[in-house]
Structure formats: C-alpha cells, structure tokens
Amino acid sequence: MQALTLDSLGSLRRSHGCGEVEPGLLGREVTLAGWVHRRRDHGGVIFVDLRDRTGLVQIVFEPDTSGACHERAHHLRSEYVIAVRGEVRRRSEDTVNPALATGELEVFVHELRILNTATPPPFPIEEETGVDESVRLRHRVHDLRRPPLQRALTIRHRLVQSVRSTLSELGFIEIETPYLARSTPEGARDFLVPSRLQPGSFYALPQSPQLMKQLLMAAGFERYFQIVRCFRDEDLRADRQPEFTQVDLEMSFAGVDDVLEVLEEVTARGCLEAAGIELPRPFPRLSYPDVMARYGTDKPDRRIALELRDLTEIFRESGFRAFRQVVESGGIVKCLPIPDAEELSRGEIDRLERFVRKELGGRGLAWIRVMADGSWQSPIVKFFSEEERAAVAAAVGARPGMVVFFQADQAARANAILARLRSDLGERLGRTDGREHDVFFVVDFPLFERDDEGRLTYMHMPFVAPVEEDLDLLDVDPERVRSTHYDVVMDGLELGSGSLRNHRSDLQRKILEIMGYRPEEMDERFGFLLEALDAGAPPHGGFAFGYDRFVMVLAGATSLRDVIAFPKTSRGQDLLLRAPSPVEPAQLEELGLALAPRRERP
C-alpha cells in the first residue's frame, strides 16, 4: 500500500450536499465533500458513509471502476475529510436503507481527494451517545458534528431570522446597547469588569438591556428590538447559563393587549418558520392566582392532565393538629390527586417521601390510597373526622385506585413540592392529554412579594408598572397591588417575560420608597432613569424572550447546553477553551488589582 499523501481541493467544487442526493440525480455526476462517517470493506468493494451538514449518503469504491481511487480508499478512517466525484446510482432492493433520506441511492466514485486526516474521535458521531457530558464538552468540536446539535443550531438560525423579519415588519428598529454598563439591582449577581482608566471602578456586564431600552423609549424610537447577549453570575442548571441570549423588545404608547399581540405573532411565526410547529391561536390568558392554585407553579406544563386541590379551609379547625397548626401559622394544606394509580407501590411512595424530605426540603409526604372497596389506606386517615373525610373525598373526586399526596406547609414550599410531583409523576405515569405543544400567557402577577426577612420587595423587577385600577392600594395595602407583568409559557418552560413600565418618575419613586429606598439612594442608583422619565417619557412596555430556552423547546432538547455552540458546565467552566483561567500578575497590576486569599465559607 502506498504512503498516504494529502490533496488540495483545487478546482473540485461541491455540487450538492450529501443529504441532497435524490432520485432526480440518477445517472448524473455529482461532487460531494464531507467527513467519513463509517467505512466498510466488503471483500474488495469499499463502502463509505459520507456526512456533511445536510445528511449522509453512501459512496462506493469499486476496484474495477477506478483502481486508483479504490486503492486510496483503503486509507480512509473515521472523520477524515474528503471530496469525491462520482455517478449517482440506485441501490439494489436488498441494500436499501430506509433509515436514511438518501437510502435508495449511492454514488460510485471515480475521483477521490483526501483533504485531511483525523485523530480517532473520542466517541461515535451518532444521533445518541451515552458519553458523559463533560467528555462531550471537552471535545465539543466532535460533539457539534452529531446530528442533534446540528439540527438544534439550524433551528436556532431559522428562529433568529424569523424573529428579525417579524419584528421588522411590525415596525421595530434593531438597536444595539452597550455590554459595558453599570451595576443595577436586577435580581442576580453581576459579572464585573475592572476599569484600567478609572482605577477602583468597575463596569458590569448587562443582565439585560432593561434600563437602556427604557431610555430609548424616552428618546422617541417607539419600537426597539435587539438580539442581545446577557450575563448573570448565578448558580447554573440545565436551563440556565452565565451568558445567554435574549430577544429584547420595547414599544411606546402601548397597553398590555398591544404587547401580547406582538408576542403572539413572534412566538407563533417563530415556531412555524423555525421548526414547522403550528400553534393554535389566540393564545389563552391565565391569571397568576389561577395557575398557582391549579398547578403550584407559574410555568406549568398543562399537557399533564393532573391538577392540585386546595384543602386549607377543610382543615382550618381540624382535630388533626399537624394540618391545623400549619393553617394557623399562615400556611396551606394542598394535595395532588392521581386517579388510577395502582402501579404506585408502597415502596415507591416511601421513596417519594424520602425524595421530598432530602431533595425538595419538605417536612414529609402524607398520602391516601383509595382501595378497590372504597376504603382508605393511609397513616393519616385515622386523624380525620367523618366530615373532613367527606369533604376531602368531594374535593378530590375520590374513587378506587386513586392516590392522593398532601402537603401542609407555607404556600411557596407546598406549591413547589406538589408541582414537582405533578410533573415527575405525570410524565412517568403517562398522564398527558396528547397535545404536542401548549402555549399560553400568564397575567395578573402581584407587584410585590416578601423576602426572607419579611420585607417587601419587587416580584420581578423594580420598574414594573402596577395595574392602574390598583394604584390607590399602594398606600394602604401594597401586597394586593397587581402588576402589568406577563409571561409566555410553552410546554412547561417560561419562554420569557415582560411588563408595562413606570413612565412617570413620581410613581417610580413611590415604588422604590415602598421597597425601602431613601431618596438619595434612588438618585444614586437610578438618577439617569428618573431624569429620562422627567424628560417626557411615553407610556411603554416590553418583553424579553429567553432565546436559548425558546430554541431548546423547539429542538426538543433537555438542556441549554445542547442548543448553544460553546456552553459552560454547571460550574461555569468552558472545558474546550479551558476558561476561566488565571492571568499574568502584570495584567492584574495594570488594573490595580491583587488577589486576596480565598476565605472558606462558614
């Protein structure tokens, strides 16, 4: 066998993608280029699956057709980069591959150019892989060759084109805002950038362009959008990254209905044009109190056909002290009824109880099983009065085979635990209504909530406008004030959120005052915004889509890392680029910085 020499592409130019070889090309010559996906030697004839972005096609090297090409094909290995010229032929019936779009055809090669060799890939370039994610991220170049990631990033491209064209048609102007800004309180920790020219001062990478887009409204641009990178230094999870992309928009002289009409158009067209998903319209609008009551979360997957039931009033004066004391302390009693749950064994219920305690921070998991004869099996039923038992049965629609899980706790924790059980058990037991996708708006959020110390703070951000009818409540009962905030939820994920903004400085100052800001603090932190509002800001509102999350839903992925080209791990590391990394002492000195010994957390 001759030593392998590499070729140049030269004048050989690709005529088709590998996945574009179709019956209309039968008998014609094509030029293809791509990566060797798999090579098979069948007793002289060599078969190679050639792969590029468009798909796979089988190419054939016969010793009688082109001896030189056939001889060189012996050198080919997985992931070699090649270009070939050959004739498209139909496969014999017994060799058709129905799993491939090109599976009825093959290309008989009479010219081969080996453009580059390749080290053996660390894992197969396949649809699915059981390789640990850290290995995939370390070898991201190979991982990105896999079909699921190729599809996801193609959907990402199509979605951004759809968003741009839709918003442009609706009269929005794309305007860029700076990455180097100042730190503002928006709910998460900022990434800080030291200033060499202003020693001791720092820029902050923007968590969102919120304030800047409000300034653009005050400046008279009326309709703005931007596909923008944002940064938050927070703990990570499957649907969260330290740097992410938002589709950001703002519009003047708009009410809630005006903004929601734009959001529906962008969402519906994006789904159709990027992924071929046609959504029923108009999108339903659900109130925040309603979704929390029925599902325990403001971003439920409504395709799961299970709902929560509130039993608080039944146990307000109960003889069952465990439930009554929770109600007396301001908590709630709530349950998740699951019909026809015979497959949930006692062992599985015990495992769920441990999961609630150890993983979800609950006090426990009370339960009732309705037996075939209508009797109740449960450690707690002996504490119920006959009236309470009848009331619970009516509330949950008790029938044989049903299992009911209870939570008695403060509302936030009880809802969170039952919402998690609803999601996990609903999927595991197949309790879905058959719809492929579900999208809706959530409206009527509270403006304020209590923090861990019991102080009033904003529920979403400090610039959200209250519902006009509730303005009088700001002075007497601010916790009852509804906000103009709204969310778009699809398949159990929040695609994004927005609101109308406070366009008057007196109202903005009032809300900051309720949250405990002194006048001098308002001017120090938000003076530039308050001045802009005083300059004649119009009524305005907007929205920000979590673009990566939107793509994740359309691609059917379970992690943001599968729809971002070069993501970070859960520890914020880029394993491919080996970032973050130490820097030279001279760089720190130039910035006036010195590293202090890291203190251990208590």
CATH of residue 347: 3.30.1360.30
Here the CATH number for the domain that contains residue 108 is 2.40.50.140
Segment 66-94 shows an average pLDDT of 94
> Residue 5 pLDDT more than 90?
no
**Alpha carbons 348 and 370: distance in angstroms, whole number:** 16
**Alpha carbons 466 and 477: distance in angstroms, whole number:** 13
Indicate if 105 and 226 belong to the same structural domain. no
Indicate if 238 and 277 belong to the same structural domain. yes
Give the model's pLDDT for residue 35.
Answer: 98
Segment 99-120 shows an average pLDDT of 95
Give the model's pLDDT for residue 67.
Answer: 87
Does residue 121 form part of some domain? no
Indicate if 53 and 165 belong to the same structural domain. no
Question: Which of 71, 98, 116 is the C-terminal boundary of a domain?
Answer: 116
Sheet holding 332-338, edge to edge: 309-310, 332-338, 403-409, 366-370, 376-377
Segment 299-321 shows an average pLDDT of 96
In tens, the pLDDT along 376-396 reads 999 999 999 999 999 999 999
Predicted confidence band of residue 238 (pLDDT cuts 50, 70, 90): low
Does residue 215 form part of some domain? yes
> Residue 151 pLDDT more than 50?
yes
Indicate if 227 and 322 belong to the same structural domain. no
Indicate if 403 and 380 belong to the same structural domain. yes
From 268-272, 423-427, 459-463, 546-550, the region with the lowest mean pLDDT? 459-463
Does residue 134 form part of some domain? no
Give the model's pLDDT for residue 1.
Answer: 42
Count CA atoms within 13 Å of residue 300 on its CB side: 29
Indicate if 101 and 154 belong to the same structural domain. no
> Residue 2 pLDDT more than 70?
no
In the chain the first and final C-alpha atoms are separated, in Å, by: 67
- Residue position matching structure tokens 């629609």: 397
Q: Over the chain, what is the mean pLDDT?
A: 94
Give the model's pLDDT for residue 596.
Answer: 86
Does residue 136 form part of some domain? no
Indicate if 171 and 62 belong to the same structural domain. no
User: What percent of the chain has pLDDT above 90?
Assistant: 87
Query: Is residue 87 a contact partner of residue 101, using CB atoms and an 8 Å limit?
Result: no
DSSP secondary structure, 140-206, as one string? HHHHTTSHHHHHHHHHHHHHHHHHHHHHHHTT-EE----SSB----SSSPPPEEE-SSSTT-EEE--
Indicate if 519 and 568 belong to the same structural domain. no
Residue 197, C-beta contacts closer than 8 angstroms, at least 6 positions apart: none
Indicate if 110 and 160 belong to the same structural domain. no
Indicate if 533 and 547 belong to the same structural domain. no
- CA dist list (Å): 595 to 29, 584, 588, 599, 601: 64, 12, 8, 12, 17
Indicate if 220 and 253 belong to the same structural domain. yes
> Residue 186 pLDDT more than 60?
no
Does residue 98 form part of some domain? yes
Here the CATH number for the domain that contains residue 199 is 3.30.930.10
Helices (H) and strands (E) in the chain, counts: 16, 22
In tens, the pLDDT along 446-458 reads 999 988 788 888 8
- CA dist list (Å): 455 to 58, 186, 397, 458, 512: 67, 17, 39, 10, 13
From 118-122, 188-192, 260-264, 596-600, the region with the lowest mean pLDDT? 596-600
Query: Is residue 204 a contact partner of residue 195, using CB atoms and an 8 Å limit?
Result: no
Give the model's pLDDT for residue 240.
Answer: 83
Predicted confidence band of residue 11 (pLDDT cuts 50, 70, 90): confident
Tally the domains of the chain: 4
From 329-333, 449-453, 517-521, 571-575, the region with the lowest mean pLDDT? 449-453
Question: Which of 61, 96, 116 is the C-terminal boundary of a domain?
Answer: 116
User: What percent of the chain has pLDDT above 70?
Assistant: 98
Segment 299-311 shows an average pLDDT of 97
Does residue 91 form part of some domain? yes
Cα angle, residue 9 at apex, residues 5 and 14 outer, rounded to 5°: 135
Query: Is residue 402 a contact partner of residue 457, using CB atoms and an 8 Å limit?
Result: no
Does residue 508 form part of some domain? no
> Residue 185 pLDDT more than 80?
no
Indicate if 190 and 85 belong to the same structural domain. no
Does residue 489 form part of some domain? yes
Query: Is residue 31 a contact partner of residue 12, using CB atoms and an 8 Å limit?
Result: yes
Range of the domain at 477: 447-484+513-537
